[in-house]
Structure 1
């Protein structure tokens, strides 16, 4: 009587073949065990740290933007102070029928568009060359009146500031109307000047306002202008205002909805928000126990995280998030993603087995794989 071979022998042979095939199958990146194998504790070159409340607090460092004291302590420019380049309007009333300036039958003489020259002077007939820059319209009115009083009886003078081209700022970047704008009474502060330029054309949540003044440069978040009134600074002649989108990015790899370099969409970004921003975990491949954040951590933060004082320079850190733990989602919600981070989600253990079966049977249907093996 012949004895049929025990069917598990074939199954064992298939498993051995599967193991060999599985070693060379394509995958999206290292397995969880391989990442842990690179830990300093296992003679690797990175510190692998599980995220908890203490780690979250130690790593919660977000960029703080704000104006320096040079900008904050600058007072508003007096809107009535005349400067070189300003355009003035002059009106002179004389108490005689045939005045110095007036025509027959006209008591008032208008001198429109009198521009202050680069040296700060204007010319007024019969009053001569008068320094206007540095004076208010009221003071200039008095000076002109005194000059004319000796030549025409009791003149009345009105001085108006028509435009302030002499004190101007340039607005560039993400605004509706880029250009050079005069600093006038309604636009002496930053927020008003941005409104004058038509407002932002980029999302307010990621808009940064850069102000360059001489050799100084500072920047703030656009939204902070409205939460902290001190940041709505007074403008100065020659200021350059640049509105640009936040340039911070993070990279995402592995079993997620996409693999890409992704821009921040908010001032702060948590691990959960970063995962959601790229379409979440791939339910067919992702291992929710293997969510990793790779980062070069500054020395001070690395020391706080690891509780060590012997570290020198930036340290390679790998933070581990387990979304299946009771507080896993809370930890991921509180853990901050920073500029330059790499978010990597490992594949679930069964994925490699499924790929192996597919390689053997030539089909991607797991149920068909198992049926085929059973038949064989």
Structure 2
């Protein structure tokens, strides 16, 4: 019996290093036998959530000036529509109604206009076939005027596009009215296209809007555009562009550890603070949580030599929850509430006790048999 209990004591003492339960251990995770092993503590930066940290983050956000997209402004200034196959032109020669196709009340401009054929040409009286595909309306106007001079003295020609049918962009995803939109003589930007599509649905992730052009995909954030005035998140659309608005399923935070209801929380359109995440999860598990160990684990920025940034809140004093209400979470953050040491010890005892009881009763039964 003494030997059995001595062995049990050794198991209990060694178990202190492998106590089960929700907690964040520390120490050297390197393994001399593993070539790919590393020291975890060297791979993370740890920050305490204090008034100083929050003030520093606030000052940084306030110092960020709106980023202006100069290239977009230049493109808008130089934009001019180029006619292509399928478009319908409306050509007017002033004081010569015989050269202008009558519209009437039963014919719209697109029905009465000059359709650009599949070979890129139109037919016009006196002039004949004219190559117009790939030209601007001003260039088409000059060509017609030069050719009509042989038949009309000082012709006054006007050319407009009655129907834009050759170019379009495609909008998919979480939009109220997804579909196609034509490219017209009015430049169409990413924000304007989304607005014409009825705006975003309640399930849209406005931080994840992708634009696919010529087999290349770029990602834009409408949140930065609307909230921070970053116009670099807007772009002039071109023919055959594909705009996709993702769902917000992936934009969530994870609350784990010693809370009443561990869960994932979707981000939505507004910010989520640490206090809101804890509240939505039912708050601390009063019997087991260590309020001094509230951690936020966040992936390190691109280009960093770290794998994560860890922010710790000591909420043992309830007034510290004011700091939690000011600490904004980011998508894919992991909120982790550690277990109190006594809770981890109780879990160890709960796992070992059935084994200890079995050993005790087995030894006692064996002694009774030997004594009889």
TM range (shorter): 0.5 to 0.7
CA distance in 2, matches of 1:297, 1:116: 55
Are residue 274 (structure 1) and residue 277 (structure 2) matched? yes
| Length-normalised TM-score, structure 2 | 0.62
Partner of 1:236, secondary structure, is coil
Report the alpha carbon displacement of residue 237 of structure 1 after superposing the two structures with TM: 2.5
1:238 matched residue in structure 2: 240
Instruction: Give per-residue Cα distances to partners, 1:198-241, cap 9 Å, x unaligned.
Output: 22123577453323344654433224444527344333233322
CA distance in 1, matches of 2:113, 2:131: 16
Partner of 1:75, secondary structure, is helix
Report the alpha carbon displacement of residue 142 of structure 1 after superposing the two structures with TM: 4.7
Correspondent of 1:341 among 333, 336, 342: 333
How do residues 31-180 of structure 1 correspond to structure 2 at under 5 angstroms? 35-36=25-26, 45-46=40-41, 50-53=48-51, 73-75=74-76, 78=79, 81-90=82-91, 112-117=112-117, 120-133=120-133, 135-137=135-137, 139-151=139-151, 158-180=158-180
1:258 matched residue in structure 2: 261
8 Å Cα contact 1:77/1:235 also seen in 2? no
Distance of aligned partners of 1:66 and 1:275 in 2 relative to their CA distance in 1, 3 Å threshold: farther
Report the alpha carbon displacement of residue 174 of structure 1 after superposing the two structures with TM: 1.4
8 Å Cα contact 1:88/1:112 also seen in 2? no
Are residue 289 (structure 1) and residue 282 (structure 2) matched? no
8 Å Cα contact 2:101/2:113 also seen in 1? no
Report the alpha carbon displacement of residue 278 of structure 1 after superposing the two structures with TM: 3.4
CA distance in 2, matches of 1:37, 1:289: 19
Report the alpha carbon displacement of residue 323 of structure 1 after superposing the two structures with TM: 1.3
8 Å Cα contact 1:253/1:342 also seen in 2? yes
Partner of 1:272, secondary structure, is helix
Partner of 2:75, secondary structure, is coil
Distance of aligned partners of 1:100 and 1:154 in 2 relative to their CA distance in 1, 3 Å threshold: same
The alignment yields a C-alpha RMSD, in angstroms, of 5.0
Report the alpha carbon displacement of residue 292 of structure 1 after superposing the two structures with TM: 2.2
CA distance in 2, matches of 1:184, 1:253: 51
8 Å Cα contact 1:86/1:163 also seen in 2? yes
Partner of 2:76, secondary structure, is coil
Instruction: Give per-residue Cα distances to partners, 1:316-347, cap 9 Å, x unaligned.
Output: 66543211337622443444544543322134
Q: Which sections of structure 2, spanning at least 5 residues, go unmatched?
A: 1-7, 31-37, 103-108, 352-372
Report the alpha carbon displacement of residue 284 of structure 1 after superposing the two structures with TM: 5.3
Partner of 1:74, secondary structure, is helix
2:199 matched residue in structure 1: 199
Instruction: Give per-residue Cα distances to partners, 1:272-297, cap 9 Å, x unaligned.
Output: 23323434334455332221234554
Partner of 2:338, secondary structure, is strand
Report the alpha carbon displacement of residue 139 of structure 1 after superposing the two structures with TM: 4.8
8 Å Cα contact 1:191/1:225 also seen in 2? no
Instruction: Give per-residue Cα distances to partners, 1:48-106, cap 9 Å, x unaligned.
Output: 654335666788999x998987656533564554344422234567759xx68989xxx
8 Å Cα contact 1:91/1:158 also seen in 2? yes
8 Å Cα contact 1:56/1:336 also seen in 2? no
Distance of aligned partners of 1:244 and 1:320 in 2 relative to their CA distance in 1, 3 Å threshold: same
CA distance in 1, matches of 2:81, 2:311: 59
2:321 matched residue in structure 1: 329
1:363 matched residue in structure 2: none
State the aligned residue count. 321
Are residue 29 (structure 1) and residue 22 (structure 2) matched? yes
Distance of aligned partners of 1:215 and 1:95 in 2 relative to their CA distance in 1, 3 Å threshold: closer
8 Å Cα contact 2:205/2:251 also seen in 1? no
CA distance in 2, matches of 1:91, 1:58: 65
Report the alpha carbon displacement of residue 161 of structure 1 after superposing the two structures with TM: 0.9
CA distance in 2, matches of 1:248, 1:259: 17
8 Å Cα contact 2:22/2:258 also seen in 1? no
